[in-house]
Amino acid sequence: MSCYFNRTLVLHKMSFPSHSLSISATIAANAVPLATPETDPVPLQFSVLRKIESCRSIQEIKQFHALVIKSRPLQTQFVYNAIMRGVTSFRTRCGSSLEAILLYREMLMKGLVPNDYTIPFLLKACAQEYALREGEEVHVHAIKTGLLGSNVYVNNTLMRVYAVCGVIGAAQKLFDKSPQRDLVSWTTLIQGYVKTGSPREAVEVFFRMCEANFVADEMTLVIVLSACAMLGDLSLGKRIYRYMHENEVKRDVFVGNALVDMFLKCGDADLARWVFSEMPVKNVVSWNSMILGLAQQGKFKEALVVYEEMQTLGIRPDDVTLVGVLNSCANLGLLESGKWVHVYIDKHMINADGFIGNALVDMYSKCGSISQALRVFQGMKRRDVYSYTAIIVGLAMHGEAAHALEIFSDMSLVGIRPDEVTLLGVLSACSHAGLADEGQRHFEDMSRVYGLEPQTEHYACMVDLLGRAGLLSDAEEFIKNMPTEPDAFVWGALLGACRVHGKVELGELAMKKLVEIEPERDGAYILMSNMYSSADRWRDALKLRKFMKEKHVKKTPGCSSIELDGIVHEFRKGEKSHPKSKEVCRFLEEFTSHLKSFGQQDKIAFA
């Protein structure tokens, strides 16, 4: 009794920031005498729980809550906890954090005190809604009531609030101070590091957990596997896989999906396929993991084969599946298949905003139908930075620089901040349109206006922009002043510009640098050899080809594909396997000679 009295007394003395939800103000204004904590009769507890569990919607819980407000004997700690449990287990549109906080305030006003069940319910709601400020308030209450530190559920749920809100330092601090830790504490900390983009640290925590003699269960492993996936570290992934065998971890559908995703992100499609085929139970996420994972590995055709298999089995795709299919169509240039997905989306009245809308814009623009991409973009009710970037990049690819820049300026009007990829689209639009000054201005704006750090891709784009505009010495100077080491894309851009403007000496320097970075690739040699030929330096061209042969430089065959009536026709340099390859070659010869008569031979050679 005295213990509870002391606790409530402390609650009265607490001060909260003025912007808070004013739990403390409610307590201060509380005129109702504080009740002693009573234990409800067991039959009442059972009937309350049965009632809450029978509720099928948040409205029904609210109706029960109304009944409690009217009936004084029902106003007990147990009943409020039960309502809070009901509220937090429903995913409400209005947000369960607010509902739970309101219930908590009401509870305090009725003179009831929180216990070790109340706080976890409240904190669960805060974590679900990413309500950091409210979580911090509850943190204070948990300290003042003495529940923090004495109850592992309170500690773990509080850690989770900080972890999901990205305040990993606070979560780690709580963990370090916890007098008792269980598997959930470790798992929550590991997940905190994963969610805040630190998979390396997450894995380190996992190994520390093993040293502390905890054995991971399937929930911990799903998170650890996702950390391996983020790291793309196959040997680490295999090590975790062995751990699962050694410790006989249950392989449920979550673990299976996490394994498939991990193996694909680590580049081992065969292992992923094997795990996938061995899964006794698959769900739509399993199929999505395969389709998206294969697409992320650039295996677009394989991704579509998996999708066909899914269709054959009659499994209904969801939004994520369609995004993966659209992405594969986009990268293969399969306009007809992409259109089919669009029809499917319309037919099933799937909301074409967000991920789906953005994937459609990207698919249409990559498949050459920029007008349709624009139509989808304009028809979207909600547009985000991805939507804007997709259309800007698409317009830039189609040479419509002015339109791309116009849409870019619309972004600031509607209050959407561009990111690094948007700027890449803007710079490439400027580059293709020969707008060197405007491109330079946007490049400078990156850090000055948008607070974005230019990456090596942006530098490569600028070199391309200056090079195309014929400002070769500016491009060279630009590379010299780069804060980071120039990569193959930067030197490749310079070499390309040298090829166009016939700058052989500078081209030789770019080639030398490129060969240092990528000795096994043939691109630089081919470009340089073409450059020598154009400058009538046949001997140098021959010498370079001979050198390539001696060094066994692999030749990447040029490849192009075209979709006709839903069938993809592929053509590789030097390969005559296509049934109509003779006719195609004959047509190309005629076409080339026709173009040459218009003086376009240089462009053909370059292409």
Partner DNA sequence: TTAGGGTTAG
Footprint (CB under 7 A) of DNA, residues 31-60? 49
State whether residue 486 is helix, strand or coil.
coil
- Does position 222 interact with DNA (CB under 7 A)? The reply is yes
Q: Which is nearer to DNA, 218 or 474 (CB)?
A: 218
- Does position 445 interact with DNA (CB under 7 A)? The reply is no
Q: Binding residue for DNA (CB under 7 A) from 28, 143, 167, 219?
A: 219
Q: Which is nearer to DNA, 385 or 504 (CB)?
A: 385
Q: Binding residue for DNA (CB under 7 A) from 74, 142, 294, 359?
A: 359
- Does position 335 interact with DNA (CB under 7 A)? The reply is no
**Are 294 and 321 contacting, i.e. CB atoms less than 8 angstroms apart?**
no
Rounded CA gap, 334 and 318, in Å? 20
- Does position 440 interact with DNA (CB under 7 A)? The reply is no
DSSP H or E stretch at residue 567: strand 567-572
Which residues 6+ apart lie within 8 Å of 459 measured at CB?
A: 478, 479, 482, 484, 486, 490
- Does position 297 interact with DNA (CB under 7 A)? The reply is no
Helix axes 168-177, 152-164, angle to 10 degrees: 160
Q: Which is nearer to DNA, 184 or 463 (CB)?
A: 184
Beta-bridged to residue 148, according to DSSP, are 151
Q: Binding residue for DNA (CB under 7 A) from 286, 372, 428, 431?
A: 286
The piece of 148-156, 344-352, 371-379, 519-527 that touches DNA (CB under 7 A) is 148-156
Q: Binding residue for DNA (CB under 7 A) from 130, 340, 355, 450?
A: 355
- Does position 243 interact with DNA (CB under 7 A)? The reply is no
To the nearest whole angstrom, how small is the minimum distance from the Cβ of residue 577 to DNA? 30
- Does position 92 interact with DNA (CB under 7 A)? The reply is no
To the nearest whole angstrom, how small is the minimum distance from the Cβ of residue 555 to DNA? 28
Q: Which is nearer to DNA, 264 or 510 (CB)?
A: 264
In our burial notation (b when 16+ CB lie closer than 10 A, e otherwise), range 313-341 reads eebebebbbbbbbbbbbbbbbbbebbbeb
**Are 127 and 161 contacting, i.e. CB atoms less than 8 angstroms apart?**
yes
Q: Binding residue for DNA (CB under 7 A) from 244, 255, 401, 435?
A: 255
- Does position 156 interact with DNA (CB under 7 A)? The reply is yes
**Are 270 and 233 contacting, i.e. CB atoms less than 8 angstroms apart?**
no
Q: Binding residue for DNA (CB under 7 A) from 27, 107, 285, 332?
A: 285
The piece of 253-261, 500-508, 560-568, 573-581 that touches DNA (CB under 7 A) is 253-261
Q: Look up residue 431 and give its amino acid.
A: S
- Does position 315 interact with DNA (CB under 7 A)? The reply is no
350: left (phi over 0), alpha (psi -120 to 50) or beta: beta
Per-residue x/- mask for DNA, residues 537 to 576, rule CB under 7 A?
Answer: ----------------------------------------
- Does position 185 interact with DNA (CB under 7 A)? The reply is yes
Q: Which of 508, 434, 445 is nearest to 471 (CA)?
A: 434
Report DSSP letters for 342-406, one per residue: HHHHHHTT---SHHHHHHHHHHHHHTT-HHHHHHHHHH-SS--HHHHHHHHHHHHHTT-HHHHHH
The piece of 350-358, 369-377, 509-517, 562-570 that touches DNA (CB under 7 A) is 350-358
Q: Binding residue for DNA (CB under 7 A) from 393, 405, 429, 433?
A: 393
Backbone angles phi, psi at 576, to 5 degrees: -120, 30
- Does position 175 interact with DNA (CB under 7 A)? The reply is no
**Are 462 and 478 contacting, i.e. CB atoms less than 8 angstroms apart?**
yes
- Does position 436 interact with DNA (CB under 7 A)? The reply is no
Q: Binding residue for DNA (CB under 7 A) from 124, 144, 403, 499?
A: 124
Tokens linked to 101 = 């906080």
Report DSSP letters for 192-204, one per residue: HHHHTT-HHHHHH
CB atoms closer than 10 angstroms to residue 479: 21
Contacts with DNA by CB under 7 A: the residue count is 77
- Does position 452 interact with DNA (CB under 7 A)? The reply is no
State whether residue 570 is helix, strand or coil.
strand
To the nearest whole angstrom, how small is the minimum distance from the Cβ of residue 38 to DNA? 12
Q: Which is nearer to DNA, 147 or 472 (CB)?
A: 147
